[in-house]
Amino acid sequence: MVGTPVRILVLCGGHSAEREISLASGRSTVASLCQFGYPAELLDTIDPACTDLRLRQADLIVPMLHGMGGEDGSLQQRLQRLSIPWLGSSPAACELTFNKLRTRQLLQSIGIPIPAGTAVLKQESQRTVLQSIADLRWPLVVKPAEQGSSIGISIIQVPAQLPAALAEAFRWGDECLIEEFVEGREITVSLAGSQVLPLVEILPSGNWYDYASKYQSPTTRYVVNPLQIPAALPTAAVRAVQAAGASDLTRTDFRLRADGSFAVLEINTIPGMTDHSLVPMAAAALGLTIGQLLDPLIRQKLSLHRSAA
């Protein structure tokens, strides 16, 4: 740890659908940073104490605010306006990666494979939607354009399931994405700065890695450093993160087909830090706690901020 005490404020909670996960991530992060020697404090962004003055009292903000209000770039815009350094990506990178449609367009433009799919607007008729997905292979994944933790996502097998899936997705916004379900292994690649952490394969308890499998099921299994992963997969994660302008700590999720081809599902700029989360799992494989993982990123961020001051 740096010699001079560094006041770190971990922001979490908020109003999003991922509030409880965010609180859990925040608590884990604070506990590990304090154990490592950083005087870190937890602050829920809906707390009246979360004022600009309170934020300015911190030397560094560590956002653990998942979903709307955190990963969409709005928090980062506020911190940028206040000239307070934070750990994580820029407002523009957060805004881009939080929107699955914009992320798809970016990845496609640089030749990184994504699932076949199309965007759908809330005002479109069922007939129009069916026409727009006519060339897609079933089963399909219907997901909100802007959510995380598998919230609002449905996997559908037949057209009769489409209306309910769209209704669920449109609970979270006026635009959604319909993609082909990519059969295969689910692999995640975490980056800490330029360091590629050990890959993690997810073996969900159900048919797919939904909210319950992520946070509630005791039978979901994980394999760290899985075998038979093409070298192009982690390379694609690095390229995707760099193209999006994301930085510090990220997690990119993939589906790996049996033939070795793969598709990127999404890029996360504020990965979870709960006891079920994938980044801490990858760090633990290197013998690192969350605090030890974040330490060099914190040092670098503070050094850059002081140089710019």
What is d(CA 222, CA 200) in angstroms, rounded to the nearest whole number?
7
**CA 33, chain centre distance (Å):** 21
Whether 291 is a known active-site residue: answer no
**Considering 67, 268, 277, 295, which one is annotated as catalytic?**
268
Whether 41 is a known active-site residue: answer no
**Considering 253, 277, 291, 295, which one is annotated as catalytic?**
253
Whether 207 is a known active-site residue: answer no
**Considering 215, 255, 291, 295, which one is annotated as catalytic?**
215
Whether 71 is a known active-site residue: answer no
**Considering 104, 266, 277, 291, which one is annotated as catalytic?**
266
Whether 19 is a known active-site residue: answer no
Whether 173 is a known active-site residue: answer no
**Considering 19, 104, 185, 251, which one is annotated as catalytic?**
251
75 and 23 Cβ atoms separated by less than 8 Å: no
What's the order of all strands across the beta sheet hosting 175-180? 117-121, 175-180, 140-144, 154-156
What is d(CA 98, CA 148) in angstroms, rounded to the nearest whole number?
8
Among the listed residues 241, 233, 240, the one whose alpha carbon sits nearest the alpha carbon of residue 261: 233
**Considering 22, 25, 28, 149, which one is annotated as catalytic?**
149
**Considering 14, 148, 272, 291, which one is annotated as catalytic?**
272
The residue ranges of DSSP E strands in 72-147, in sequence order, are 117-121, 140-144
Q: Annotated catalytic sites, by residue?
A: 18, 149, 215, 251, 253, 266, 268, 272
